[in-house]
Amino acid sequence: MGAPFPLFDAPVDDAAERIDSGVCGICGRQAVARFALGVGAGVMVRCPACGVENGLSVTDPDENNCRACGVRIPLPDMPHGHSACYACLRAGRAALTKDTELGMISWEQAFAGVTHGVPGLAHPDFEMVPVPGDEGWIAARLPQEMMFELLRTPGYLTIQGESWLFCCRRPMVYIGTWRHQQDFIDHAPGGDGGKLFEDMVEDADDRIWEFLGQGGDSIGVYVFRCGSCARLRAHYDFD
């Protein structure tokens, strides 16, 4: 998309928030690559009263109170629409919320250094943190810079929802959607696509592999590559 991202190495059409070229809603400059700021996204602004940085919702502006002092923060005027160009997104002037296997990460979780959590979460690579007030919910403590890198990365299109995966104590790189058995065969050592599928997709069974034999847009396997060990992992969903 003419805009490199360390954690996104998939085709342009897979980027969930990418929209046509136009004027950036934040800086007002013409941009080739823009990203829509919708539900869950934040425009990063410092509180005029205390100077603490906050993410302001463009879809629920009445809830934009400072996380530190509670003062209401007005959403900046965005006459060109709610979007961020590549430069603004990478500079941290906007944040795109991510759903991950460790729980949701928005700008609020990134400042806290702890994910929103999921019921019964267990992961050997990170410290697990009980979520106060939500019995059975467990969050993960992550380095802030890792969380903010995810928020500066576009999401990927799915049928039922994303779940960014991790490996080697870091977020993996999203590389695309596979919809056919042949995708696995082409990437498998020795051509054993079924074995690669079993290794990559931890919670799948033979029925999903058979479904991939039919192919089509009613199923998607969302593939990630580890930037450290090159391992492939994936999750799937279907219509």
CA distance 232 to 172: 9
- What is the DSSP pairing of strand 118-119 with strand 137-141? antiparallel
**Distance set, CA 166 to CA 177, 210, 222 (Å):** 17, 27, 13
Tokens of 57: 């919702």
pTM comes to 0.95
Task: Supply the pLDDT for residue 203.
Answer: 86
Is the separation of the CB atoms in 76 and 64 below 8 Å?
no
**For the chain, domain boundaries:** 18-95, 98-152, 157-239
pLDDT digits (tens, 9 = 90+) for 22-77: 999 999 999 999 999 999 999 999 999 999 999 999 999 999 999 999 999 999 99
Task: Return d(Cα 80, Cα 100) in angstroms, integer.
Answer: 31
- Give pLDDT, residue 36: 98
> What is the pLDDT at residue 1?
63
- The residues of the chain scoring below 50 in pLDDT are none
The number of CA neighbours under 13 Å toward the Cβ of 30 is: 0
